[in-house]
Copies of this chain bind each other. A is one copy, B any other.
């Protein structure tokens, strides 16, 4: 459908399957991201680009960029150009992973949404999810949390943007992007216009202190790219900014990249509600190891970090750049054992989850209401 982007056949042959509803790899190292970038037609985040980001923001780039968790983008240079000139932009992200908060928790409701929920259940979950997000430490003056269901009833502008997109995307184009089948519901077929619409929130002024035409940067896992590829195609046709994108890799299940996290399988993931003891037990019992079968073999041959879930989790969450690199080398060479690496991860996750639980305990319904009320945000553009 697009001139700039490749059309994507979402499944086929020996390729990984990556679309907003399925992520599936046949390789134990997980998705081949280089192949995916090529297929999707987006850009690798290069060392040069990270260096430019650091020049523009005047400090070190976010750890998730340096570690390659966010690895790909669309139009990030355009956002950097604006940042350099002091021009505003805004971030939009969903229940999937976001660059400013943790993956561990965000992935759980994301998995949830793939299920066949009732509307009531969805709205309940949305509220619980909002509490998790707030517990991550978002600034209420700069953050508007919305659920699609509620926001539509709160802002006619939002629904107008949905219909603007829906009117300008044909079934054929949506099919090309998402691989829709004729047996899919017309709700599912229409959904991309709902996911697309907040990319154009910068077109109506009430949130941004009367400012209009503010472009959007979207951090998301790469499986969400098709929505925004479509959005970017529509944008110029309706006279609006294309959203820029920054893509993350996927967060693996405890059992490894080929396995799936599932809310119905307690052992597949660390939940934000897990106790300190549960975190320890799950990592020790279930986190797939890239190390050797015995300590002796590990000392001699070393581990494969690419498939080691504990190392992958540390890449997402560990607080210290240099120590992480030392651990990678020591674990790869065999100087470090799986049990030792797991101990580091357990401590890190226990602290992080305890912090979130502490903050979440004081998030009440009134605060959720405040976050979820459309209002001017406190940006000084």
Contact = CB atoms under 8 A, between A and B. Distances in A.
Contact of A159 (B149, B168, B184): B149
Please indicate which of the listed interface residues A156, A186, A187 has the most CB atoms of chain B within 10 Å of its own CB.
Answer: A186
A156 B166 contact: no
Interface string A152-167: 1111100110011111
Interface residues of A, number: 35
A192 to B, nearest CB: 7
A193 interface: yes
A37 to B, nearest CB: 27
Nearest to A162: B187
A188 to B, nearest CB: 8
A125 to B, nearest CB: 15
A113 interface: no
A167 B152 contact: no
A189 B119 CA distance: 21
Interface stretch (A56-64, A175-183, A264-272, A292-300): A175-183
A181 to B, nearest CB: 8
B186 A192 contact: yes
Q: Which residue, A184, A189, A192, has most C-beta atoms of chain B within 10 A?
A: A189
A363 to B, nearest CB: 23
A138 interface: no
A180 B171 contact: yes
Given A152-B159, A159-B149, A164-B119, A193 B187 contact: yes
Given A153-B153, A187-B190, A171 B182 contact: yes
Copies of this polypeptide in the complex: 2
B166 A184 contact: no
A169 interface: yes
A185 interface: yes
A79 interface: no
A358 interface: no
A171 B186 contact: yes
B159 A185 contact: no
B153 A149 contact: no
Contacts of A184: 170-171
Nearest to A154: B153
B156 A185 contact: no
A192 B192 CA distance: 17
Contacts of A182: 170-172, 175
Nearest to A116: B167
Contact of A153 (B152, B168, B180, B187): B152
A156 B164 contact: no
A347 interface: no
Contacts of A190: 166, 186-187, 189-190
Contacts of A167: 185, 187-188
Interface of A: 119, 149-150, 152-156, 159-160, 163-172, 174-175, 180-190, 192-193
Given A153-B154, A166-B187, 14 more contacts: A119-B163, A119-B164, A149-B159, A152-B153, A163-B187, A167-B187, A168-B187, A169-B185, A169-B186, A169-B187, A171-B180, A174-B186, A186-B189, A189-B189
16 contacts: A119-B164, A149-B163, A152-B159, A153-B159, A168-B185, A169-B186, A170-B183, A170-B186, A171-B171, A171-B184, A171-B186, A172-B182, A175-B182, A186-B189, A187-B193, A190-B190
